[in-house]
Structure 1
Amino acid sequence: MSEIEKMLPWQDSNWFEECAQWLNTSLALHNIELTSEPSMIHSAPWSVVYSAMTNQGIYYFKALCPALKHEPQLAWQLSLWQPNLVQPVLEIDARRGWLLMPDGGTTLRQVLENNPSLDYWKKILPAYARFQQSLIPHRQELLALGVVNRGLQVLPRLANNLVEDRDAMCIGQTDGLSSGDYELLKTLMPKLQNLCDKLARFGIPETLQHDDFHDGNIFMGQDGFKFFDWAESFITHPFFTLVVTLRSIAYRFELDEQSPELHELETLYLMEWQEYGTLDHLGKALDLAMVLGRINRALTWHMVVSSLPEPYRSKEADAVPGWLQLFLEKITPYV
C-alpha cells in the first residue's frame, strides 16, 4: 500500500479545497458569509470537524469515513422529525458524507466539569426514551436512509460473522482475546439466537438506538438539551443504548455499576417504557440487553475499524476484542 493509499481523505492537502468550496456555497444559500478561515477542531480516523466563524455565528463542518457516511441524511431527517431534541442541520452532501450545522452551545460534558450533577441525566434519559419511541413507526424510513439493521433476528448472524474474522479478534496479542477466550466465544455463538429470542419476547419494539450516547454528544443550549453525532446509530433493541451511556456516567461520576445512583437512572429511563410491561419486566429485559448490547458495540467498532486504512486499523483494532471480552464477563448467568 502506497503512502497516498494510507492517507485519510482529510490528510490530502487538496481535499479541503473541495470542502471549502462546498462550505461557502452552502452558507451562501442562507445568506451567511465566512469571516475567517475554517479551522480543524477534531480529527479521527473516522471523522473530521472544522469550525467556521461566520457573520451569523459559528458553524461546524463534519466529514465522515465511508462506513459512517449515512450520518448526514440521518441527522437531517431526525432534526425535521424532532426539532426540539435534535441539533439542527443546515446543509448536507449525502454522497460525500458531509454535513454543516450551527453551533449548539456547550456540551453536557463541559457543563458537568463545572457542575457535576446527575440531575441533568435524570431529565435527559426519560426524554431520550420518548424520542426512541417516537421513531418506532419510522423504522423502514430510517433503514432507507442507510441506517444499519442490527435487529435481534440478524444480530446472531452478524456476531457469528464477526467471530469468524480471526484477525479482528487479535488472538494472543496484548489487547486481544486469549486463545481460551476465543474458543469460549465460539462455543457461545450457537446460543446467541436463543438469547436474542428471549430478549425479543419481552415485547419491546426495535427502534433507533444511538450507540454512542454520552455527555459529549448532547448540547445544553438555552432552549434545552439537544442530541447529535448520529454516525453510530442502528435499528435494534432500544435498551442497547444504555451499555455506553451508563458506562460513561459511571466513569464520569466514579460510580459502581451496581450503585443506587445508576439504578435510579435506569428506572427513570424504564418508566417511559411501561406501555410494554411492569418495571420488573422491563428491568429483566434491560439486564439481558446490557449483555447483548456489548456484542452490538463490538460490531460497531468492527464496522468502523475494518473500513480504515493502515496504520489506523491496527491502532484502533483493540476495541473489537475489548468489547467481546466485556461480553464474556457478563454472559455466564444466561448460558
Structure 2
Amino acid sequence: MRTSATPEVEDATTALGWAQQELPGAVSTWLRARPWAEVWSVTAPSGRWWLKANSVATGYEPRLLQLLADLGSPLIPAVRVHPDQPWSLVADAGRPAHEAVRRAADPVAALDFWCVLLARYAELQRAVPAEQLRGTGLPDASATALPTLLAELLSEPDWLAPALAPDLDDADRARIRGCGPKLREAAAALADGMPATLQHDDLHDANVFVSTPDLEPARAVVIDWGDASLSHPFGTLLVTLRALASAWGLAPEDPQLAQVRAAYLEVWRTGGESPAELDREVALALRTGPLVRAASWRRALGTPQAGLAWGMGAGTAHWLRRLADGLAVG
C-alpha cells in the first residue's frame, strides 16, 4: 500500500497504466516512496522489471537512461522510458554486488571486479558528449557552478538548523558558512583540469548488479542514476572508495584501494598526463565533492521541511561539514 507521504509523482495510476501497455500481462507491486521517486516491482511474462516514477526534481533520470541506452553503453540494463513523463522501466539486473561479490570468500576476485568495473565506467564518462548530457536536464555541478551551489545551500539556513542537523555545533556551522573563499579557490583550480562529464555520485556496491554466476565484471551494470550530475569525473571516487573501505574493513590509504583508484585513473592517461597530475585533480575533486553530494540531497528532498518530515535532512549538513573539513586542510 502506498503511504500518505508519497512524493509528487504525476498520477501514479497513469504510470502503472503505461507500464501495463509496455509489458502486457504484467503485475505491479508497490515497493516504496521517497521524496525523489516512487518504485514498483513489475512481474511480466518477459521477466521482472522495476517501474520508477521520478519526482520533478529528479525528472532528468529517465532521459539520462535513454541517452546512455541509445549510446549503447553496456553498463546500463535494458530500459524503457516514457517519451514525456519522468517514468522508466528497468529490467531486473540480477544481484547487487554487495551480495554477489563477497570479498571474504575471494579477495582477489573482489579486487579484480572493482578494478574492471571502474575502468569500464571511466570509459563511459569519456565517451558521453557533455552537450547531450545537458540536453537531458542533468544538474550542473561543474567546477564553475560550485560557488553558486554553495551559495544556494547557505541561503536556506534551515539545512544547518539543530532540528535537521543535531550533530553540528556552532563551530561547525561557522566553518561551513565561512568556507566560500577556499571553495572558490579550489573550484578555480579544478576548472583547469578534466572537463565536466557524467558523474554517478552514488557508485557503490548496492548500485552495481551482476547477473552471471561467474561474477564477470565486464557484464556488470550500474543502476540508480538519480544522483548523477555534470561534474568533474573524479568526484566519483569520493563515494566509491569510501564505500569499499567500509565494506572491506580497510583504511583509506590501504594499497588495495590504491589499486582500484589506479585502475580507474589509467583510463584518463590518454593525453600523456602524469600520475602526479591526475593525483592533483583527484585531491581537488575529493575536496570539493562533498558539495556535490550536499546539493544532491537538497535536490532530492526539495526543502528542509521535507527533509525533516522524511527524517532524511541530516545528509545535506553531513556533506557540508565534510566539505568544510576538506577545504580546511587543503
Return the TM-score normalized by structure 2.
0.88
Contact preservation (8 Å) 1:26, 1:91:
no
**Residues 149-164 of structure 1 aligned to structure 2 (within 5 Å):** 149-164=140-155
Contact preservation (8 Å) 2:80, 2:89:
yes
Of 115, 121, 128, 1:128 maps to: 121
Contact preservation (8 Å) 2:164, 2:313:
no
Gap regions ≥5 residues in structure 2: 213-217
Deviations along 1:115-166, whole A, 9 cap, x unmatched? 462221011111111110011xx11121111101111111112112212321
Corresponding residue number in structure 2 for 1:279? 275
Corresponding residue number in structure 1 for 2:19? 23
Structure 2 distance, partners of 1:308, 1:174, is 10
Structure 2 distance, partners of 1:264, 1:290, is 17
Structure 2 distance, partners of 1:78, 1:311, is 31
Contact preservation (8 Å) 1:23, 1:61:
yes
Structure 1 distance, partners of 2:206, 2:283, is 25
Confirm whether residue 233 of structure 1 aligns to residue 222 of structure 2. no
> Shift in Å at residue 178 of structure 1?
1.9
Secondary structure of 1:316 counterpart = coil
**Residues 83-162 of structure 1 aligned to structure 2 (within 5 Å):** 83-95=73-85, 97-113=86-102, 115=105, 117-135=110-128, 138-162=129-153
- Whichever residue aligns with residue 183 of structure 2, its letter is L
Corresponding residue number in structure 2 for 1:250? 245
Contact preservation (8 Å) 2:301, 2:307:
no
Deviations along 1:62-100, whole A, 9 cap, x unmatched? 1122211111111011011133221121232542x2111
Structure 2 distance, partners of 1:156, 1:318, is 21
Corresponding residue number in structure 2 for 1:167? 158
Of 36, 47, 57, 1:67 maps to: 57
Corresponding residue number in structure 2 for 1:324? 320
Gap regions ≥5 residues in structure 1: none
> Shift in Å at residue 175 of structure 1?
2.9
> Shift in Å at residue 17 of structure 1?
3.2
Total equivalences in the alignment: 318
Secondary structure of 1:51 counterpart = strand
**What is the percent sequence identity of the aligned residues?**
25
Question: Comparing 186-195 with 167-176, which one deviates more in the overlay?
Answer: 167-176
Corresponding residue number in structure 2 for 1:306? 302
The change in CA–CA distance for 1:8 and 1:308 in structure 2 (over 3 A counts) is: farther
Structure 2 distance, partners of 1:52, 1:154, is 39
The change in CA–CA distance for 1:311 and 1:165 in structure 2 (over 3 A counts) is: closer
> Shift in Å at residue 263 of structure 1?
1.1
- Whichever residue aligns with residue 68 of structure 2, its letter is L
> Shift in Å at residue 55 of structure 1?
1.4
Confirm whether residue 264 of structure 1 aligns to residue 259 of structure 2. yes
- Whichever residue aligns with residue 266 of structure 1, its letter is R
